[in-house]
Chain A
Amino acid sequence: MWNLLQFELFKIFKKPRTYIAFGAIAAIILLIQIALLTNGKEYVKFMLSSLDDTLDIPYDQIRNGYWIGFAILNLLLIHVPILVALVAGDMVAGEANMGTLRLLITKPISRTNLLLTKFFACVIYTFILVVWTAFLCLVVSVLLFGTNDLVISKEFELLQIEKTDVLWRYIAAFGFGTVGLIVVASLSFLLSVLSDNSIGPIVATVAIIIVFTIMSEMQIPIYDKTVKPYLFTTHMLGWKGFFYIDSDVDGQTIKGSIQHFSSIMKSFAILIGYIFLFVSSAIIIFKKKDILS
């Protein structure tokens, strides 16, 4: 299995399309960083305009590397899943399209092992993509803008997190985000097993993510209980929970606290469930599939 995993990773990183994802993320993040470096104060003002009349907001302090990183992550909500789908959707369908799938299946590897290895290769690719995003989003932002307390708005309140309390939240958020992206990878992977052409699974995954994300973000009461709890995109937003710090009765934030830890864990468990559902469905289908390509 190790030999096969090496082969799968080698193939992923030999394909030019893999680097499109890394290049696209770098381009988006660097453009945002350059924009915020030149017009950052105006952007922060715009973002916090609803609170400007009641509070004396220190915009220059708010515009720090941690805040920029948080703002960028919010903007990348749909982009990164699309880039994950670009590779995961190609894993099986792309091989079927090229005709190499039949050659792989004639080798002494079980179909389950073949599929799991391909999925693990996808997971590793997703992890590397998250590390790359984290590097650009957080490390470069901190280098460019420095560090300070992180101030974020949640509905109608401002939450201030001490700068010494921020880094672990980012690590946890990136970890959670990786699991969310693995759900996208597993969905795309499942669709890839069903198709003999990689365009179909990639486009279908992107369409599902866009529709589900819009539904997850819409504030319509009828959807809140009937649809949203079942959408994986709703739970993918759970990473934000690591930045929602708890406060005591005096309104002072409690260092190291999280407001709704149990709901984050619930979302985490649901995401893991989705991964198992999509991957096991892919394996069951693939084991019985006639390879006609």
Chain B
Amino acid sequence: MNKVSQPVFKKKVSVRNISFTFDELYLMPAIIEVKNLTKQFKDVTAVNNLSFTVNAGDVYGFLGQNGAGKSTTIRMLLTLLQPTTGSIHIFNKNLQTNRKKILTQVGAIIEKPDLYKYLTAFQNLFFFAKISGVKVLENKIMEQLEMVGLSERAHSKVKTFSQGMKQRLGIAVALIHDPELIILDEPTNGLDPQGIADVRNLIISLSKNFGKTVLVSSHLLTEIELIANRILIIDKGNKIVEGTSDELLDPAKTIVALNTLDNQSAKNKIVATQWGQYLQQSKNDTIILKFSKDRIPEFVNQLVQLNIEVLSVTPRHSLEDYFLSLTTANQHVEPVTV
């Protein structure tokens, strides 16, 4: 049984319609538990032996470049795709055998929010609420439209909406039945900067103020960095790394990219010293190490003593750089849990 790895809520929060104190929440089982999930499309392995856990109250960032397998994984979580192998448990129940029950508590946007263009925003929300099993009240629908800033366009047909408005309406549809788990696949796609900020604030609010568990995927890594408390990075269907954003962005684990005139020789010299333990990857153009940023001067001195001709030493601390450093290597990387 998994536990929430760090305090998320300081007040009482609602999970699955029950109020929990932090201590109780701390002991809550995982909301999503994915084990050894694989999806094969003929000769292509879109997702390969993926395992991860999303705990109650998490804003779980699901990162990867285009084609990394994010959407395939999310589609399996939402029963759009059948896994080739592996298991998915949501709310501690097997998804395959409890699909209907589980989906009553899940709201989702998958890639772009395609809604019925010939219906109005109100009609879309009304019917999706009904088929989600929610008692439909006009004021609740209007509240939802108000929340996403579309109340004035409630009775306009969706075909007259901009991409951003459709995206916001898609979020309203995902939330209309007050789900405990919200799965958002690239929710900021097609939004302008203000729209992106609005969605970001909404996700944070859903987690902090309403105790929702959110799984959000994106290739906009800076977005995930700002909202997620736990992050999974996948590449070519493989899990690269999973951990809390604090751990991944820990200044004590700054990524340092070193370029020299002869990287191969430099690497050999570094391995022979204490700095060798911090070595992560070595490629023709860059040597990647991971250590505290404060130790960079000490490291540079060591390089000078070793007669290594340095071209650059670049500290990287954003998740995006970290992500790129892990995924641009055109090789299989063993998964790491930070």
Hey, which bits of chain A sit against chain B, CB under 8 A?
3-4, 6-7, 10-11, 14-16, 98-100, 102-110, 288, 290-292
Contact = CB atoms under 8 A, between A and B. Distances in A.
B130 interface: yes
A139 to B, nearest CB: 31
Contacts, number: 73
B196 interface: no
A3 B127 CA distance: 8
Nearest to B183: A106
Given A106-B103, A109-B131, 7 more contacts: A3-B131, A16-B118, A98-B114, A103-B114, A107-B128, A110-B100, A291-B80
A102 B110 contact: yes
Main SS class of interface, B: loop
* Most chain A Cβ neighbours within 10 Å, of B99, B114, B132: B114
Contact of B114 (A14, A100, A109, A291): A100
A107 B32 CA distance: 18
A100 B115 CA distance: 6
Main SS class of interface, A: helix
Contacts of B104: 108
B114 A3 contact: no
Nearest to A291: B80
A291 B114 CA distance: 14
Contacts of A102: 75, 78, 80, 110, 114
Interface in B101-158: 101, 103-104, 106, 108, 110-119, 123, 127-128, 130-133
Interface residues of B, number: 31
B78 A106 contact: yes
A107 B80 contact: no
A92 to B, nearest CB: 14
A291 B75 contact: yes
A291 B103 contact: no
A99 B116 CA distance: 9
B79 to A, nearest CB: 7
Given A14-B119, A105-B80, A288-B82, A7 B110 contact: no
Contact of B79 (A14, A16, A103, A105): A105
